[in-house]
């Protein structure tokens, strides 16, 4: 494994300089795919990852809190700034070799056909039709061992919810996940301790390394290097074991590929000054705002026994809602229960009796990524980009509808009380727990959105693909408008929200772009 961690080089004052055919910034779902494809085609590839390398053996020893602190950006404490009647959304983004693919639940959906059709018909992106994208989906599914979750892997939490759904006239469908020999320990979002989740650190990055690619962890890229209108490399600093920037580095390359994700690709374009010529940089982000409802049953549920995310429902997709099973380690779950002191202790002790189910909103593009050097970024003293989010009125109504569906379904399954994700508890119910009659008394539309506990692992579309620099950042080939040899391949280029988990979409798009880049001649060395 050609892995260089920043702290091993920080004691040397001389800047590190490297030469490559292709430099890829980011080692997650998109960067790893492109790295493997281009390295196997004979290109000299260097991959730069800001986060550390967390080996499977290390992940197996970490507590969930350790993984959050080491592998999540800002230790899992990144939030969007709410604009208007919007929630503050916890942005959970991986920051390690393998990126967010190491920290996802492994849920793998193809892009829904109606989304692809809208990209073709409304945006003119004809190469993204279901027929043309199908081979790339198949390739990703083969490489990542994507399989259906068998029913026996469903937790009791999911089974109970499914029984309630059947009584209300809808059903659950099994998820596809990139797993093999999963034992249902419910640790997926904290790095699989058994190497049963086929994230890119176990699939595509080993291919890239075997073909000669080099991976540098703890490498913060701060600037894209340009000569006229051509990208010629990147520069940044290696990070020490405390994440502090130390020794400088430069990677000169004939082609620069950004795979930093929806938050940090626009940040890098902004810091380099490229955003000044492209007004769409950082605009139109979608987040798939996600919430969950907990329910208490009389009998023990032990909801952590089984696959973390085993089933979903598409019964409400016409309302822009996707329902998804989920569970988290009990230490994390108990911390989200209402109460203080003894009242919280009493609630936390009922964790074995809790079931959980969640959902996401197929949202309108209400997010913006602002430079850390923007007025708001300077005011907040940010070292990270600032993400603002204004939830549309129809999405806000969708939140109320989704929470009521989740609660009603648990009551249909026999739950004694439910806990909605409302900070401080619903109005009139500070202890949090609601019975059916209590729920009917609450007008969810009138609760300020800032009181909802909301999360996202899917920042998309902040450097979207299109036909013109008037409203997009990259063309159909991923090339940044107005610049040569600068490409973006990550989730930021997706033209809209998906309504489903985006991992397969991101990887299939990256596979498509890698095929085009593989056949595109590299420019002469400068």
Instruction: List the one residue out of 400, 298, 420 whose CA is nearest residue 356.
Output: 420
Provide the CATH topology of domain 148-188+287-456. Answer: Glucose Oxidase; domain 3 (3.30.560)
The domain limits of the chain are 3-53+96-104+109-143+199-284+458-518, 148-188+287-456
pLDDT at position 181 = 92
User: Are 234 and 221 contacting, i.e. CB atoms less than 8 angstroms apart?
Assistant: yes
Judged on CB neighbours under 10 Å (0-12, 13-18, 19+), 387 is buried
Region 3-53+96-104+109-143+199-284+458-518: CATH code: 3.50.50.60
Judged on CB neighbours under 10 Å (0-12, 13-18, 19+), 195 is middle
pLDDT at position 186 = 80
pLDDT at position 432 = 75
Distance of CA 370 to the CA centre of its chain: 19
pLDDT at position 60 = 86
CA 122, 136, 29, 222 dihedral sign is negative
pLDDT at position 14 = 63
pLDDT at position 193 = 87
Residues 436, 430: Cα–Cα separation, whole Å: 16
- What is the block-wise mean pLDDT of the chain (526 residues), using blocks of 10 residues? 39 75 98 98 98 90 89 92 96 95 94 98 97 98 96 96 98 97 86 92 97 97 96 96 91 98 96 93 98 96 93 98 90 78 84 96 97 67 86 98 98 97 84 89 95 96 97 97 98 97 98 97 88
Distance of CA 334 to the CA centre of its chain: 24
pLDDT at position 339 = 77
Judged on CB neighbours under 10 Å (0-12, 13-18, 19+), 81 is middle
pLDDT at position 490 = 98
pLDDT at position 379 = 62
SS3 call for 244: coil
User: Are 191 and 67 contacting, i.e. CB atoms less than 8 angstroms apart?
Assistant: yes
Q: How many CB atoms lie within 10 A of CB 114?
A: 10
User: Are 523 and 254 contacting, i.e. CB atoms less than 8 angstroms apart?
Assistant: yes
Strand partners, 479: 487
User: Are 16 and 246 contacting, i.e. CB atoms less than 8 angstroms apart?
Assistant: no
SS3 call for 504: helix
pLDDT at position 222 = 94
Where are the extended beta strands (E) located within 170-272? 173-174, 176-178, 214-216, 219-227, 230-239, 245-258
pTM: 0.94
């Amino acid at each position: 494994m050609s892995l260089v961690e920043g702290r091993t080089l920080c004691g040397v004052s001389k800047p590190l300089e490297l030469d490559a055919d292709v430099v890829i910034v980011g080692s997650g779902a998109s960067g790893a795919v492109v790295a493997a494809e281009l390295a196997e085609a004979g290109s000299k590839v260097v991959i730069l990852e800001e986060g550390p390398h967390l080996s499977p053996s290390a992940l197996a020893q970490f507590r969930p809190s350790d993984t959050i602190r080491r592998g999540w950006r800002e230790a899992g404490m990144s939030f969007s700034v709410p604009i208007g009647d919007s929630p503050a959304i916890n942005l959970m983004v991986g920051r390690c070799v393998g990126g967010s693919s190491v920290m996802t639940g492994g849920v793998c959906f193809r892009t829904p056909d109606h989304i692809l059709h809208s990209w073709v018909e409304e945006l003119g992106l004809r190469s993204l039709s279901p027929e043309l994208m199908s081979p790339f989906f198949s390739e990703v599914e083969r490489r990542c061992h994507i399989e259906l979750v068998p029913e026996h892997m469903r937790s009791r939490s999911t089974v109970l919810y499914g029984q309630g759904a059947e009584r209300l006239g809808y059903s659950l469908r099994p998820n596809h996940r990139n797993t093999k020999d999963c034992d249902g320990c419910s640790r997926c979002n904290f790095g699989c301790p058994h190497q049963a989740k086929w994230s890119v650190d176990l699939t595509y990055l080993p291919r890239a390394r075997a073909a000669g690619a080099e991976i540098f962890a703890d490498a913060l890229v701060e600037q894209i290097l340009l000569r006229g209108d051509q990208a010629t490399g990147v520069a940044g600093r290696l990070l020490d074991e405390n994440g502090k920037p130390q020794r400088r580095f430069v990677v000169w390359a004939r082609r620069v590929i950004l795979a930093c994700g929806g938050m940090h690709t626009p940040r890098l374009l902004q810091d380099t000054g490229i955003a000044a010529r492209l007004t769409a940089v950082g605009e139109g982000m979608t987040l798939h705002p996600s919430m969950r409802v907990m329910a208490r049953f009389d009998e023990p549920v032990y909801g952590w026994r089984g696959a973390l995310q085993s089933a979903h429902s598409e019964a409400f997709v016409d309302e822009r809602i996707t329902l998804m099973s989920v569970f988290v380690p009990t230490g994390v779950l108990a911390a989200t229960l209402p109460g203080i002191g003894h009242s919280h202790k009493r609630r936390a002790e009922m964790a074995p009796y809790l079931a959980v189910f969640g959902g996401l909103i197929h949202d309108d593009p209400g997010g913006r990524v602002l430079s850390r050097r923007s007025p708001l970024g300077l005011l907040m003293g940010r070292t990270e980009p600032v993400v603002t989010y204004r939830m549309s009125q129809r999405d806000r109504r969708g939140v109320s509808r989704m929470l009521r569906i989740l609660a009603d379904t648990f009551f249909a399954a026999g739950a004694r009380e439910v806990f909605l994700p409302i900070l401080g508890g619903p109005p009139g119910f500070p202890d949090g727990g609601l019975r059916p009659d209590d729920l009917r008394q609450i007008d969810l539309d009138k609760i300020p959105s800032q009181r909802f506990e909301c999360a996202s692992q899917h920042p998309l579309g902040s450097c979207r693909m299109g036909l013109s620099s008037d409203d997009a950042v990259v063309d159909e080939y991923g090339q940044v408008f107005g610049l040569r040899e600068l490409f973006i391949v990550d989730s930021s280029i997706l033209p809209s929200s998906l309504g489903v988990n985006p991992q397969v979409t991101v990887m299939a798009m990256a596979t498509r772009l890698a095929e085009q880049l593989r056949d595109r001649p590299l420019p002469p060395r400068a």
